[in-house]
Structure 1
């Protein structure tokens, strides 16, 4: 889904995920982003550089620790997030159209059970 949405808004899937992360979590350090996205620091630096060139994020020095950069979503990035959300909703509507509601409910229940089992297996 992220690839479908990203292709329609001139962002890579990783850029889309980073904007989404910052939208949900607020400003984060580059290290926090790397941990949450499970990427190395060099990859995150390149990712942020690309978004910064497009005007979607800015780096600001952390007022508590000048050695750290906090990455913030700009107003332009917030607008892009809203555009992405609209496109994602439209895409989901198209994907799900024509599937009876009871089948969607059944599929959701099965996926929920699978998710719970996977989580249990990963905790072992």
Structure 2
């Protein structure tokens, strides 16, 4: 494929990825609002990391979500105001705070995951799993290529 065509296809992929992501975020916000869950998609991402593994440092969460320190502090402050997480001291280094789910934060997982599963089903529709895997493999390669460049 000619370089010009590759550039055009990549631009279309990038644009479609952004449009899809934006539309999905709007859909998630709408469904959460209907369920009276007061969370942004970004707060949901933080909770998702903690549902997978509780008691992570703010820096670990920032690294996983590709957020800067200020953005992460803002998100954790908002989750804390909603009584979904607390900051805990570590014994080894008092400067490091572990972010821990509260009982309310843990309880929210089931309701949130149910909504997200319904949305995934709607979005995926009848696209075969094999096709989804191929798309994921390409995005994984895009990400590896980007990470390589960022490491330079």
TM-score past 0.5 threshold: yes
Distance 1:37 1:119, change over 3 A: closer
Distance 1:105 1:23, change over 3 A: closer
Consecutive unaligned residues in structure 1, runs of 5 or more: none
Q: Please report the RMSD computed on the Cα atoms of aligned residues, expressed in angstroms.
A: 2.3
In the alignment, the residues of structure 2 paired with residue 106 and residue 33 of structure 1 have an alpha-carbon distance, to the nearest angstrom, of 31
After superposition, the C-alpha distances for 1:31-81 in whole angstroms (9 at most, x for unaligned) are 222222222211111110100010100011112222221110111111112
- Post-superposition offset of 1:113: 4.1
The match for 2:100 is 72
Aligned residues: 120
- Stretch deviating more after TM superposition (28-37 or 107-116): 107-116
Map 1:1-124 onto structure 2 (within 5 A): 1=24, 3-7=26-30, 8=32, 9-97=37-125, 99=126, 103-115=127-139, 117-118=141-142, 121-122=145-146, 123=148
| Higher relative contact order structure (alpha carbons within 8 Å, sequence separation ≥ 6) | 1
Distance 1:52 1:81, change over 3 A: same
